[in-house]
Structure 1
Amino acid sequence: MLTALRLLAAAALALAGTAAPPVRAQQEWVLDALNVEQAWAVTKGENVTVAVVDSAVDTGIKELKDRVTVGPDMTEPALDRKLPPGRHGTAMAALIAGSGADGGLVGVAPAARILSLPLPEEEDGPSFLPPAQEQAPTGESPLARAIRYAAGHGAKVVSLSLGTYGAQKSEREAVSYALGKGVVVVAAVGNDGQGTYAKDNQTSYWSFPAGYPGVIGVGAVDKQGRRAPFSSDNLSVLVAAPGVEVPVVKDRSSYTLSSGTSSAAALVAGVAALIKSRYPEMSPAQVAQAIALSARGRPAAGYDDKVGFGTADAFAALNAAERLAGQQREVAVPSGRHFGEGAESPQPSPPGPDPWRLWLYGAGVLLGLIGFCGAIVVLNQRKQ
């Protein structure tokens, strides 16, 4: 069961060697691709907590010092244990909220806080089954439990760099619960773009939770903004973000490169955190709309199932969110007026019969009777 909830592919953390210092120089292309530095003039993610459902986040790395809360192990509801820090969860958390302290890695929302909701980390990566072979689970899954916990403990964004084939009722309901509480849910779409099924059918298997309604599904692009070949392509893809050789935290003293939609999803979760920081009352649907409609590198048709609406642009998304936040859902009506300017409608007539019509009707009946009687009299006189 843990395998079905783990990382999207063994390539999710492709160990390509330690990036040469300084790491900020290595990640400059990522920040540029997302237009993050302009967005920081508006907000850096203050007063927002992002839940990272993944392996446990290392609270000791300098980039996240004093800004991580570690929740309970999500594996079993009654399980009381402390999981050791995991590399993948730590890497994703730093991409979201890394402070850049002492020349370290900086995240998209460097002032945000992290709520780490741990699942055991697996070294082998996942072994996904086709939907026809997926066994329906019983009860609440660890992922569903984590999403509900996040929504009930102050998270404004949930970042899910994981997935499995096949929808689960408990997870779908947990996502709906979170969305209903105003929590934005972001998930990686998967790394199956080069699989046999994708090559044979020109589309990839859907991965969940990215495939649930209301979730921001994120694909991966490279330095040139082109879709990463491994990135899954299907209609769960809303937007894309850098996901090829992205610099990430490796441990407390070094960095590495990550390739996969895991990194792309974490980066977009950071963008969502910026929006929720600036517009805390904005609904998840509006946040998704702001990110999608402001994306750069939009496909010629406006949308495709490879990069969605294009690559997320943090600054443009904040501008789009401002426009959406300014839209009034109701038109204010001045006191004493029904619809603003103009004369009011006449008061309705009281119920019951109209007296004038009754008089006219009665007179008509009387005249008819007089005429009828007169005709009878005339006919009788002729017969005599």
Structure 2
Amino acid sequence: MLTVVRVLTAAVLAFSGTTADPIKAQQEWVLDALNVKQAWTVTKGEGVTVAVVDSAVDTRVKELKGRVTTGPDMTTGSVQRELPPGRHGTAMAALIAGSGKGDGYTGVAPSARILSLPMVIDEEPGSAVPPMEEQPGVQSPLARALRYAANHGAQVVSMSIGSYGPLRSEREAVSYALSKGVVLVAAVGNDGQTQYARDKGTSYWSFPAGYPGVIGVAAVDKQGKRASFSSDNLSVLVSAPGVDVPVVKRGSGYELSQGTSSAAALVAGVAALLKARYPALAPEQVAQALAASARGRPAAGDDDETGFGVVDAAAALNAAERLVGAKRSITPGVEHFGQGEDTPVPSRPGPDPVRLWLYGGGVLVALAMFCGAIVVLNQRKEQ
């Protein structure tokens, strides 16, 4: 029996028709917002595989042709089938690794490869789904996808999907992928304008963005301001363009997208650049590099709306270089916490010798006095 998949698009695409101008001109502002072209002087993502957990990627798209490997259907662990190409997954894959072939769309990491991990999802705008009850011993589609990605060479996983409520199988799969050095990036969701958000001043948490160790990405507009629909809560680490972002259509052509989905895919592309340049960079170091180098940082340093600010690809590469350098400079015996007085040599274990002599001397004096008193008393009796 086929298991019903609960994972739906957390950041749904909403389109406004085809673009009239050449696609490279249309996407120029997105690449500029992320400072990608400067980063390309260092790396374009060579040797990195990004897993896209989403609807199936259309391998016929010219910008992705020959550069996509498709994994099994993650919807169920028992029934395997070939899923048709999806609109959402194709768009996200091209945002990450579009090659620009034939004056076409260029992704953030155009030399990276895509591992498509398809599942049945609802691609209709405004979709929402309650959390599925955990079934003992049964992994969710997302949990299966994360483990598959970690075991099949993915260095980055892009998850422009989500639902409400965590699952144990997913938490464990997230921990497993992180332990394998895989960078996990997810959209925080599009609940910024819900009634709950207006009443509470914060948005529902969406998962997988809400799991510890996952880089949660919010959406901003062309001015770098938080998109009104973008969820705001503590799962937001950084932000990226998510308003009127050009994307590749399934089959051919281009269209515009709205949502944190696009923002997450773009940041996954930047993460691919970091892993290409510094393959040994741990997931937490990638997150640190992205956050520390972000532009448009809020006055307080970070907030629930845009996190630490908008990702800057070139600055993130510089930050990663410093992290790698700092890691290599730390060797055993090196002063690490600063100068200070030397700690006194610890005393030997057991009784203190000085105190023993004082104590022994006191006992001897007391015995002498006691004996003297007895002698005096005896002398008095004899008299």
Same fold (TM over 0.5): yes
Aligned equivalents of 1:183 and 1:124: distance in 2? 30
Aligned equivalents of 1:112 and 1:80: distance in 2? 27
One-letter amino acid matched to 2:134: P
- Describe the shift of the 1:369–1:176 C-alpha distance in structure 2 as closer, same or farther (beyond 3 A): closer
- Describe the shift of the 1:382–1:295 C-alpha distance in structure 2 as closer, same or farther (beyond 3 A): same
Partner residue, 2:305? 306
- Describe the shift of the 1:46–1:348 C-alpha distance in structure 2 as closer, same or farther (beyond 3 A): same
Aligned equivalents of 1:80 and 1:382: distance in 2? 113
Aligned equivalents of 1:157 and 1:348: distance in 2? 53
* 1:60 matches 2:60: yes
Q: How many residues align?
A: 374
Superposed, which structure 2 residues align to 1:320-331 within 5 Å? 320-328=319-327, 330-331=330-331
Superposed, which structure 2 residues align to 1:87-126 within 5 Å? 87-125=87-125
Aligned equivalents of 2:5 and 2:380: distance in 1? 113
- Describe the shift of the 1:247–1:343 C-alpha distance in structure 2 as closer, same or farther (beyond 3 A): closer
- Describe the shift of the 1:348–1:45 C-alpha distance in structure 2 as closer, same or farther (beyond 3 A): same
- Describe the shift of the 1:154–1:35 C-alpha distance in structure 2 as closer, same or farther (beyond 3 A): same
Aligned equivalents of 1:52 and 1:230: distance in 2? 23
Partner residue, 2:145? 146
Indicate the SS of the match to 1:208: coil
Identity %: 69
Partner residue, 1:275? 274
Partner residue, 2:13? 13
Aligned equivalents of 2:349 and 2:216: distance in 1? 59
Aligned equivalents of 1:373 and 1:193: distance in 2? 92
One-letter amino acid matched to 1:103: D
Once the two structures are TM-superposed, the CA of residue 236 in structure 1 deviates from its matched residue by: 1.1
- Describe the shift of the 1:294–1:382 C-alpha distance in structure 2 as closer, same or farther (beyond 3 A): same
Partner residue, 1:262? 261
Aligned equivalents of 1:199 and 1:124: distance in 2? 24
The 8 Å contact of residues 6 and 125 in structure 1, kept in 2 or not, is answered as no
Once the two structures are TM-superposed, the CA of residue 80 in structure 1 deviates from its matched residue by: 2.3
Partner residue, 2:6? 4
Aligned equivalents of 1:238 and 1:178: distance in 2? 19
- Describe the shift of the 1:297–1:358 C-alpha distance in structure 2 as closer, same or farther (beyond 3 A): closer
One-letter amino acid matched to 2:152: H
Deviations 1:240-287 (A, max 9, x none): 100011111113431111111110000000111111111211211111
The 8 Å contact of residues 6 and 126 in structure 1, kept in 2 or not, is answered as no
* 1:163 matches 2:165: no
Aligned equivalents of 2:184 and 2:358: distance in 1? 71
Partner residue, 1:136? 133
Aligned equivalents of 1:244 and 1:309: distance in 2? 19
One-letter amino acid matched to 1:104: G
The 8 Å contact of residues 8 and 123 in structure 2, kept in 1 or not, is answered as no
Partner residue, 1:195? 194
The 8 Å contact of residues 5 and 75 in structure 2, kept in 1 or not, is answered as no
Once the two structures are TM-superposed, the CA of residue 171 in structure 1 deviates from its matched residue by: 1.2
Aligned equivalents of 1:233 and 1:377: distance in 2? 93
Gaps of 5+ in 2: none
One-letter amino acid matched to 2:165: G
Superposed, which structure 2 residues align to 1:167-178 within 5 Å? 167-178=166-177
Partner residue, 1:337? none
One-letter amino acid matched to 2:225: R
* 1:284 matches 2:283: yes
The 8 Å contact of residues 50 and 158 in structure 1, kept in 2 or not, is answered as yes
Partner residue, 1:317? 316
One-letter amino acid matched to 2:303: D
Once the two structures are TM-superposed, the CA of residue 293 in structure 1 deviates from its matched residue by: 1.6
The 8 Å contact of residues 52 and 115 in structure 2, kept in 1 or not, is answered as yes
Aligned equivalents of 1:296 and 1:228: distance in 2? 16
The 8 Å contact of residues 14 and 125 in structure 2, kept in 1 or not, is answered as no
Gaps of 5+ in 1: 335-339
Indicate the SS of the match to 2:273: helix
The 8 Å contact of residues 4 and 126 in structure 1, kept in 2 or not, is answered as no
TM-score normalized by the length of structure 2:
0.88
Once the two structures are TM-superposed, the CA of residue 316 in structure 1 deviates from its matched residue by: 0.9
- Describe the shift of the 1:364–1:173 C-alpha distance in structure 2 as closer, same or farther (beyond 3 A): closer
- Describe the shift of the 1:331–1:104 C-alpha distance in structure 2 as closer, same or farther (beyond 3 A): same
Alignment RMSD (CA, Å):
2.9
Once the two structures are TM-superposed, the CA of residue 121 in structure 1 deviates from its matched residue by: 4.7
- Describe the shift of the 1:218–1:369 C-alpha distance in structure 2 as closer, same or farther (beyond 3 A): closer
Partner residue, 2:296? 297
Aligned equivalents of 1:318 and 1:279: distance in 2? 9
One-letter amino acid matched to 1:23: I
Once the two structures are TM-superposed, the CA of residue 6 in structure 1 deviates from its matched residue by: 2.0
Aligned equivalents of 1:370 and 1:49: distance in 2? 89
The 8 Å contact of residues 8 and 127 in structure 2, kept in 1 or not, is answered as no
Superposed, which structure 2 residues align to 1:218-237 within 5 Å? 218-237=217-236
Aligned equivalents of 1:144 and 1:23: distance in 2? 35
Aligned equivalents of 2:245 and 2:81: distance in 1? 32
Indicate the SS of the match to 2:6: helix
Aligned equivalents of 2:200 and 2:370: distance in 1? 89
The 8 Å contact of residues 4 and 128 in structure 1, kept in 2 or not, is answered as no
The 8 Å contact of residues 53 and 117 in structure 2, kept in 1 or not, is answered as yes
One-letter amino acid matched to 1:326: G
The 8 Å contact of residues 3 and 127 in structure 1, kept in 2 or not, is answered as no
